[in-house]
């Protein structure tokens, strides 16, 4: 399936979403709305367990939000639409993997920061250069301290420096760095691993981690225990998995 800016391929439990808007895959209001609709459709599709996010071409994953939408008339709609896109990435129910080839700058870097995991090629680069044009990246200011710590966040956002994939991995912004010719196989192994698991258990595990991440330890323990006892243990797949383990059998998930 394809729209003006988004191409979608769904197979074997994986929904691959590719945003293509040459020359640099800038995120316009229109393309972000298509992005949101596509993610929402994948979230609603029971056949989809994992969502992967790609940039079309090879030089850019995305160079960020389209500057032409930074006008007095469009600025609020642009901000609201981008916030909704980031919310879909983080607070939807299914795991999302960003696959980065080339540059992920500005809003493109923020987009990958809101995904569950990031796989990048060795030649990928990351950065928040907004300070150089007299603004600051509000989503990065919110998410970076949670991912890379306050000092590194201040360094990256205040300087606008562009960093390599290797450095992005070292600071915790990227999970894995691969040779360009190896990234598809690496992502394939990850998605195959995830798709072998129960969809509902993946979703509830993810829900527990996100619910606990900003809480003090005592509150986090309480919240995750509640999800475990009152949601996870009410699923058919939890019973199937425990029974299969005790019988030393391979579980056959019902995904519910």
pLDDT digits (tens, 9 = 90+) for 6-43: 999 999 999 999 999 999 999 999 999 999 999 999 99
In CATH terms, are 6-195 and 199-247 the same topology? no
Pairing assessment for the beta strands 96-100 and 50-55 based on DSSP bridges: parallel
Output the pLDDT for position 165: 98
Question: What residues does each domain of the chain span?
Answer: 6-195, 199-247
Mean pLDDT of 200-214: 96
For residue 53, the cross-strand partners are 17, 98
DSSP string of the chain? -B-SSEEEEEETTEEEEEE--TTTT-B-HHHHHHHHHHHHHHHH-TT--EEEEEESSSSEEE--B-GGG-STTTHHHHHHHHHHHHHHHHHSSS-EEEEE-SEEETHHHHHHHTSSEEEEETT-EEE-GGGGGT---HHHHHHHHHHH-HHHHHHHHHH--EEEHHHHHHHTS-SEEE-GGGHHHHHHHHHHHHHTS-HHHHHHHHHHHHHHTTS-HHHHHHHHHHHHHHTGGGSHHHHHHHHHHHHT--------
pTM of the model: 0.94
- Domain 199-247 sits in CATH at 1.10.12
pLDDT at 190 over 90: yes
The pLDDT value recorded for residue 32 is 96
Residues 106, 135 contacting (CB under 8 angstroms): no
Active site residues: 110, 130
Please check the confidence at residue 56 and state whether its pLDDT lies above 80: yes
The predicted pLDDT at position 216 comes to: 96
What whole-number percentage of the chain has pLDDT above 90?
Answer: 94
pLDDT at position 235, please?
97
Arithmetic mean of pLDDT over the chain: 96
73-116 tens-digit pLDDT: 888 999 999 999 999 999 999 999 999 999 999 999 999 999 99
Say if residue 46's pLDDT is above 80: yes
Tell me which CATH code domain 6-195 carries.
3.90.226.10
């Amino acid at each position: 399936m394809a729209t003006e800016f988004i191409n979608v391929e769904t197979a074997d439990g994986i929904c691959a979403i590719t945003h293509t808007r040459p020359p640099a895959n800038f995120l316009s209001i229109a393309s972000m709305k298509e992005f949101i609709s596509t993610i929402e459709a994948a979230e609603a599709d029971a056949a989809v367990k994992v969502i992967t996010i790609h940039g079309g071409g090879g030089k850019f994953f995305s160079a960020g939000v389209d500057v032409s939408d930074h006008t007095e008339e469009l600025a609020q709609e642009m901000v609201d639409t981008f916030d909704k896109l980031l919310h879909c990435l983080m607070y939807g129910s299914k795991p999302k993997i960003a696959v980065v080839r080339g540059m992920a700058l500005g809003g493109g870097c923020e987009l990958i920061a809101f995904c569950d995991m990031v796989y990048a090629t060795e030649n990928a680069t990351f950065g928040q250069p907004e300070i150089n044009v007299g603004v600051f990246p509000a989503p990065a200011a919110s998410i970076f301290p949670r991912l890379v710590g306050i000092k590194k966040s201040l360094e990256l956002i205040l300087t606008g420096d562009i960093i390599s994939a290797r450095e992005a991995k070292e600071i915790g912004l990227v999970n894995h760095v691969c040779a360009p010719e190896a990234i598809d196989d690496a992502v394939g192994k990850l998605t195959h691993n995830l798709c072998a698991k129960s969809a509902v258990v993946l979703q509830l595990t993810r829900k527990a981690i996100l619910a606990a991440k900003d809480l003090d330890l005592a509150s986090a323990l309480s919240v995750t225990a509640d999800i475990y006892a009152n949601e996870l243990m009410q699923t058919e797949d939890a019973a199937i998995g425990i029974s299969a383990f005790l019988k030393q059998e391979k579980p056959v998930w019902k995904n519910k």
